[in-house]
């Protein structure tokens, strides 16, 4: 493909993406109701617009499950491996590594906003975690939500007195997490395997397989719609 042709195609794709982002913004602001209204106001090919909207929705799902979720779980796995190697040699590294493992593991189980109107998470995977590890999974995710990524007072149960502030919390100290390490490590490996199986089941294996429905787009989807006007 000649350079100028390639450049025009990439510009067209970029402008379609920009229109999708603009539409999502306006719809969330309740300034537009649906794709038909947006396309009419912008003079766009509605069939092409809706194809790009579906494409980006599929792209978000593919990237979340194949990349973001997997990378977070692998990061949690690496932090646990480092923790096991250094927890007796350098006590200062213990809790930072544990906190990183907790945040990385729990993140994909929480709501991740897509670029359109959906949220993505590993709720489907959560259902396949063995009953013997559900308690560990819940603690890791709850601890992330309350004491690691946030400053909820309930779990810390603080008391203000004459000699300052005392924290009365159980289950959140190094010895508690040290006892949890074997199950936490096993949990990460199981979730990684379940995620791999889910990706195969959903056809999220390769870019070719995932986006095969978009391999022959209508001509309008590759024509440059021009950038969206500033709203």
Cβ contacts of residue 40 below 8 Å, gap of 6+? 46
Q: How many residues does the chain have?
A: 231
Token pair recorded at residue 194: 């379940």
- Among 138, 119, 121, 120, CA closest to 129: 138
Using pLDDT thresholds of 50, 70 and 90, give the confidence band for residue 4. Answer: low
Report pTM.
0.88
CA 19 to chain centre: 23
Q: What is the dihedral of CA 17, 19, 25, 28, to 10 degrees?
A: -100
Given a contact cutoff of 8 angstroms between Cβ atoms, the answer to whether 50 and 218 are in contact is no
* Whole-angstrom Cα Rg for the chain: 23
Predicted confidence (pLDDT) at residue 219 exceeds the cutoff of 90: no
Task: Round to whole Å and give the CA distance between 127 and 118.
Answer: 20
In this predicted structure, what is the pLDDT of residue 3?
57
Task: Round to whole Å and give the CA distance between 96 and 93.
Answer: 6
Token pair recorded at residue 181: 């390490």
Residue 65 carries which DSSP code?
I
Predicted confidence (pLDDT) at residue 98 exceeds the cutoff of 60: yes
Q: What digits encode the pLDDT tens for the residues 104-146? A: 999 999 999 999 999 999 999 999 999 999 999 999 999 999 9
């Amino acid at each position: 493909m000649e350079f100028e042709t390639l450049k025009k195609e990439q510009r067209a794709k970029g402008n379609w993406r920009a229109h999708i982002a603009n539409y999502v913004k306006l719809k969330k602001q309740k300034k537009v109701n649906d794709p038909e209204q947006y396309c009419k106001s912008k003079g766009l090919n509605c069939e092409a617009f809706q194809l790009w909207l579906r494409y980006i929705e599929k792209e978000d799902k593919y990237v979340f499950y194949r990349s973001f979720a997997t990378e977070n779980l692998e990061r949690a796995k690496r932090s646990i491996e480092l923790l096991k190697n250094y927890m007796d040699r350098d006590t200062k590294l213990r809790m930072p590594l544990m906190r990183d493992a907790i945040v990385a593991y729990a993140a994909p189980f929480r709501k991740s906003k897509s670029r359109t109107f959906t949220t993505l998470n590993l709720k489907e995977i959560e259902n396949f975690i063995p009953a013997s590890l559900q308690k560990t999974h819940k603690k890791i995710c709850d601890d992330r939500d309350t004491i690691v990524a946030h400053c909820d007072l309930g779990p810390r149960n603080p008391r203000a007195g004459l000699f300052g502030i005392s924290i009365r919390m159980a289950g959140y100290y190094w010895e508690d997490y040290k006892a949890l390490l074997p199950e936490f490590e096993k949990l990460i490996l199981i979730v990684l395997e379940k995620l791999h199986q889910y990706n195969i089941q959903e056809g999220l294996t390769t870019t070719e397989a995932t986006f095969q429905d978009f391999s022959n787009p209508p001509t309008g989807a590759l024509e440059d719609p021009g950038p969206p006007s500033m709203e």
